[in-house]
A and B are shown apart, each in its own frame.
Chain A
Amino acid sequence: MARQATVPSKQRPAPRAGTINGAQALVEALRREGVEIIFGVPGGASLPIYDALYDAASLRHVLVRHEQVAVHAAVGYARASGRVGVCTATSGPGATNLVTGIADAIMDSVPIVVVTAQVPRAVIGNDAFQEADVTGITMPITKFNSLVMSAAEIPHAVHQAFYLARTGRPGPVLVDIPRDVLQEACVPEFTDEVSIPGYRPVLDGAPNQIAAAVKALAEAERPVICAGGGVIGSNASPELTALVEATGIPVVLTLMGKGALDELHPRCLGMLGMHGSAYANWAVNDADVLLVVGARLDDRVTGRLKDFAPRARIIHVDVDPAEIGKNKSAHIPIVGDAKRVLAVMVAQARVPQIESWWRQITEWRERYPFRYHQNSNRISAQYACDLLNKVTGGRAVATTDVGQHQMWMAQWYRPREPRHFITSGGLGVMGFGFPAAMGAKFACPDKTVVAVVGDGGFQMTVQDLATAVEHGQSLPIIVLNNGALGMVKQWQSMFYGGRFSSSLLRNPDFARVAEAFGARGIRVERPEQVEGALRAALETEGVPCVVDVICDPDENVLPMIPSGQSVAEMILDE
């Protein structure tokens, strides 16, 4: 990024020898953590940080147009790269605009560090201009947060934040720094030491528990492995793949676990849960042993708890002990890091006798694959997702918002490797997909990154097309436009007698919106145009390309296990 020549400022007194101010200590601490990019918006309280960034050649700041975009971009960056994402905002409204993204990061266990500026120490608690109790507000949605009350403490606070964010069960950590602390002179002491007496993640699973799990799987007649986001977070895909190939056990994936196993692997049954494949859900329903790895078994996966995997002995592997037994009690609990535990299981693995189990699964698979009907005039959104999968070969990093398009992407997009499907899983954030794709593109500029969004969600963060254009991002944005808040409309259609209360949208022409921002825009209304438009968007260089795909407004996501019900109540056809 081009920088103007530094203009000497009368307002910046030269620091005494050996001293720097808190903001400079912050920037140096970030640099020492290997941070290369920060997403943010400046403001009054954070001006000292921006002044320090002006001189920091190795730290790139991406000015976004809304703080929510900064935090979603940091999450996209972290999930695509495995590194810690960083974002910053000023006090008060800047910080409160981050709240949605921080909550998303804790639900999906994403390592990010959030730096917020706070009003000066002397006026904290006085309802000062742009003051908000940010550590109070974010307490339940951060892994840890702190208010730093002296400049000398900044290096340690930052180092601790990165350590906490990326170790154990990853998550967001927030550091709140008053403006006068950012301006305070200090002699910083940078350290690599971390001592947190109350924080000791258990990474190695108990050997006797692992042995019991291996034995249970070897003796199983109908075993299933359920892999979640924890497998991706701990980079355990090679170990998972090795275990599957050593044992032949079928694998189902949670939404967050998509890509943990190559989804074209013959042992992969795809996603389970509310909108998962019928065969994945049937397999779990009939399983006699279920190995759950890095998944927290939330209600969208299990439906009615007592009817989830009712015949199975459950082996539950998680680095967070609080997740084991939270929703479903485990017969063999294993606290540990997925990568380490799976590596030990691979070394001990024995082959179970499951030929007849596979015959049953294959029969289910052939009887009820995902299906859609593409007729000659209205575009099926599923057809568009299926085409995107074919055109990219599942090798692009795909991001989504929440809703119908997210579920269709989950069903039809088959990532071949981990960190290639980035979606707001636990919190289910509209407006997540496009900013997350921007962050992912900054993390992986040489990869194809594509955002797939709904017409409702896109309008929640569309303003940041300006940012993507400014940075020349080659970023296809596929808007599956059905003129509705589609999932809301689907539930109204199925469970509220078709009373479409506030779920129909009158949209702008997204292609022309894109052009107004300086991006490329393509509008697609006919099925035969879809493939060409997707290819054109993927080939567009140096500028985002919005493809407005006008879809059939009446298409529903199926199969569906209605909320709080079980696989027995699965709706397979309209």
Chain B
Amino acid sequence: MSEPHSATISVLVRNAPGVLVRVAGLIRRRGVNIHSLSVGPTEDPSVSRMTIVVDTAPERTELFAKQLRKLVEVLRATAIDGTPSVDRELALIKVNVTPGTRMEIMEIASVFRANVVDLTDRTMTIEVTGRTEKVDAILTLLTRHGIREMARTGQVTLVRGPQNT
């Protein structure tokens, strides 16, 4: 599922009503698809971080960051293209199991350092964390067992090293 033209923008916003709509709306009206968007608190309780993955050419990413900086509630917007970064997402995958397939699925989970977080006689729920490619890889292996449902958080990202994202 990795997009050839996806780019990551990390945005620090003030916690105020409507901020999510403003940010999402700004991207939407420039005709670009949001691949994933994750929001959560930061070390400062009045500030949230949004990590947005958009389907756009890398050279357009900085233009998006510039537009986002114009929003009064945006404190910082960083286009992460080429900068070494740590990217993670978490997925919960509920897969069909039978007594015959249970061990094989647990082995797959183990290779991907995924955790089994729920188990019934017919299903197993696996929690996997990693880069998008890793999550996509385990999904490929689990597909033939039948994925009943899935939830992914979308990517979160921080720049490597001492500098701020």
Contacts and interface: CB of A to CB of B under 8 A. Distances in A.
A182 to B, nearest CB: 19
B26 A136 contact: no
Interface in B5-35: 13-14, 17-18, 21-22, 25-26, 29
B73 interface: yes
A140 B72 contact: no
Nearest to B47: A197
B127 to A, nearest CB: 35
A174 to B, nearest CB: 12
A547 to B, nearest CB: 41
A135 interface: yes
Contacts of A1: none
Contact of A199 (B18, B67, B72): B72
Contacts of A305: none
B69 A164 contact: no
A198 B71 contact: yes
A46 B125 CA distance: 55
B14 A198 contact: yes
Contacts of A326: 63
Contact of A321 (B17, B25, B69): B69
A484 to B, nearest CB: 33
Contact of B29 (A136, A140, A147, A325): A140
Contact of A322 (B14, B18, B67, B72): B67
Interface string B52-92: 00000000000100110111111100000000000000000
Interface in A142-164: 143-144, 147, 164
A196 interface: yes
Interface in A296-340: 320-322, 325-326
Contacts of B13: 198
Given A144-B72, A198-B74, A198-B75, A325 B63 contact: yes
Nearest to A147: B17
Interface of A: 135-136, 139-140, 143-144, 147, 164, 196-199, 320-322, 325-326
Given A198-B13, A198-B14, A198-B74, 11 more contacts: A135-B18, A139-B18, A139-B21, A139-B22, A139-B25, A140-B26, A196-B72, A198-B71, A321-B69, A322-B69, A325-B63
Which 8 residue pairs of A and B lie closest in terms of their CB atoms, listed nearest first? A322-B66, A198-B75, A144-B72, A322-B67, A199-B72, A198-B74, A321-B66, A198-B72
